[in-house]
Amino acid sequence: MATLVHVFSRHRPLAARLIALAGLAAVAAVLAPRVPRPVKVDLLLGPAHQEFVEVRVAYLQEGEELHGVAFNFPSGAPPRVHHEVSLPAGDFEVHTELRRADGRSQACTRSLHAPATGTVLIPLVERAQ
């Protein structure tokens, strides 16, 4: 036992650094999933894409909107709307609203999991008429 105390007292600065590093690693492991990461998203509007003049997107996690964006296309939307959003890890509901020039709109909800590798494709074709 006396040798263990002697070894510890000789290496106290090293032991303190190791304990501090272990504490930092534990904190990082807890906080890392909550740090937002970029997610590339493509909204697929289908063959009727030119009828839409506005696309609204909201990203909700556990019922709370974490990010929202609106795109305006006075001459009609392209077939694919690309953007990048910063989201923490987890599952999300993606709420979209497509608005036509005459004011009619349609909404749909899709899901997304972050972080994601590559670009997440969100088809809106089924309800985009």
- pLDDT tens per residue across span 11-33: 677 766 766 666 665 665 665 55
Q: Give me 25's structure tokens.
A: 């690693």
Residues 92 and 45 grouped into a single domain: yes
Report the pLDDT value the prediction gives residue 91, as an integer from 0 to 100.
94
Residues 23 and 60 grouped into a single domain: no
DSSP type of residue 117:
S
119 band by pLDDT with thresholds 50, 70 and 90 = very high
Q: Is 92 exposed, middle or buried (0-12, 13-18, 19+ CB in 10 A)?
A: buried
116 band by pLDDT with thresholds 50, 70 and 90 = confident
- Torsion sign across C-alpha atoms 25, 29, 32, 34: negative
Instruction: Give the three-state DSSP class for 122.
Output: strand
Instruction: Give the three-state DSSP class for 90.
Output: strand
Residues 26 and 45 grouped into a single domain: no
Strand partners, 43: 81, 122
The total number of structural domains in the chain stands at 2
Report the pLDDT value the prediction gives residue 128, as an integer from 0 to 100.
37
Residue 67 is inside which H or E element, if any? Answer: strand 64-72
- Which residue range forms the structural domain that includes residue 122? 36-127
CATH number of the domain to which 98 belongs: 2.60.40.3540
Residue 13 is inside which H or E element, if any? Answer: helix 12-31
DSSP type of residue 116:
-
Chain segment 73-111, per-residue pLDDT in tens: 999 999 999 999 999 999 999 999 999 999 999 999 999
Kindly tell me if the per-residue pLDDT of 127 is higher than 60. Answer: no
